[in-house]
Amino acid sequence: MSPELLQAIALLNNNEVLAMPTETVYGLAGNAFSEEAVAKIFTIKQRPLYNPLIVHIKNIAYLNTIAQNIPDVAMQLANAFWPGPLTMVLEKKDCIPDIVTGGKKSVAVRIPNHPLCLQLLEALDFPLAAPSANPFGKISPTSAAHVHKQLGNTIPFVLDGGNCERGLESTIIGFENENPVLLRVGAITQNEIEKTIGPIKNIDKYNTEILAPGMLAKHYSPNTKFIVTPDVEKTLHQFENLKIGLIKFCKSENNKNIHTEIILSHDGNINEAAQNLYSAMHTLDELQLDIIIAEKMKDDGIGKTINDRLQRAMAE
């Protein structure tokens, strides 16, 4: 085992928290069975206590340790997508303290698909509660450097696992009378899920506040003013006297008003665009720009998740 991994294990066994890599975004992790460790996560993140955390487990068999009355369809999803960026909200067992779940009787759980993170989980005799490792409401981190920038002064350690392969948070599924409901769009598309278990209900038709607390309109936000537009050319004209940063999907914009432009995927690959999105937002946010303009993606597949995050980054 590497010295870094040993250090992470020692800290977590000692009720400390640290940043860990996952395939989606970096997480701010602590012992999910320890109120003391979990309280530290909320304090460091400045996260309101009503906003519950995701519990990361090492394998499917471990699910029974923390959840009960698991619907058959949830097991189908677990077998199809774990380890991977799918989180399921299930009835919790008593070993999960209320502070993890914001007082709810349910717990959100997933198996992350990142070798170093899985090695870490294997070495511990408890699961890890972890929200994304960013200050509340800010841009999620997809590299160790992003975490150092945002939380470096407040956490003892960042376990560096490279750049996150997916770059967007997990998809969250809840259950109503054993029927799956999509609570948060994420790195796995609705279509991929429906190929496995058939049509699912979408949160759009439900009350987000009650089902997934913390799914706030404003989230994932740079400090710089941020605008999403389907018509980049027109929006550039609208703000032509400002210092502009631009995030485009695949084609460069020929316009002298742009200070810095970042192309998410030169090949027009939407998965690569997803992987690079938060990094582009972090980079532009450091340039003292007046405004960041982002191109809206085609509202389909993973483009839907990108648009969701862009929309929340823009919200007032």
**Candidate list 132, 143, 221, 279; residue touching ligand TXA; CB under 6 A:** 132
Residue 159 and residue 8 in contact, taking contact as beta carbons nearer than 8 Å: yes
- Residues 88-126 as b or e (16 or more Cβ within 10 Å = b): bbbebeeebbebbbbeeebbbbbbbbbebbbbbbeebeb
- Residues 280-316 as b or e (16 or more Cβ within 10 Å = b): bbbbbbeeebebbbbbbbeeebbbbbbbbbbbbbbee
Of 22-30, 249-257, 263-271, 291-299, which part binds ligand TXA (CB under 6 A)? Answer: 22-30
38 binds ligand TXA per the rule CB under 6 A: no
Q: What is the C-alpha to C-alpha distance for residues 30 and 16, in angstroms, rounded to an integer?
A: 7
Q: What is the C-alpha to C-alpha distance for residues 316 and 309, in angstroms, rounded to an integer?
A: 14
Site for Mg ion in 107-136 (CB under 5 A): 132
305 binds ligand TXA per the rule CB under 6 A: no
**Candidate list 145, 215, 227, 262; residue touching ligand TXA; CB under 6 A:** 215
51 binds ligand TXA per the rule CB under 6 A: yes
What is the separation of C-alpha 236 from the centre of its chain, rounded to a whole number of angstroms?
30
Q: Which CB sits closer to ligand TXA, 139 or 293?
A: 139
**Candidate list 101, 150, 235, 307; residue touching ligand TXA; CB under 6 A:** 101
Total residues binding ligand TXA (CB under 6 A)? 29
106 binds ligand TXA per the rule CB under 6 A: yes
Q: Is the preceding peptide bond at 83 cis, omega within 30 degrees of 0?
A: yes
Q: What is the C-alpha to C-alpha distance for residues 202 and 72, in angstroms, rounded to an integer?
A: 19
**Candidate list 31, 87, 143, 190; residue touching ligand TXA; CB under 6 A:** 87
Q: Which CB sits closer to ligand TXA, 104 or 225?
A: 104
Residue with the two structure tokens 């303290």:
97
53 binds ligand TXA per the rule CB under 6 A: yes
Residues of the shown chain interacting with Mg ion in the complex, contacts defined by CB under 5 A: 132
Residues of the shown chain interacting with ligand TXA in the complex, contacts defined by CB under 6 A: 22, 24-25, 27, 51-54, 85, 87, 89, 101, 104, 106-108, 112, 130-132, 169-170, 172, 174, 183, 212-215
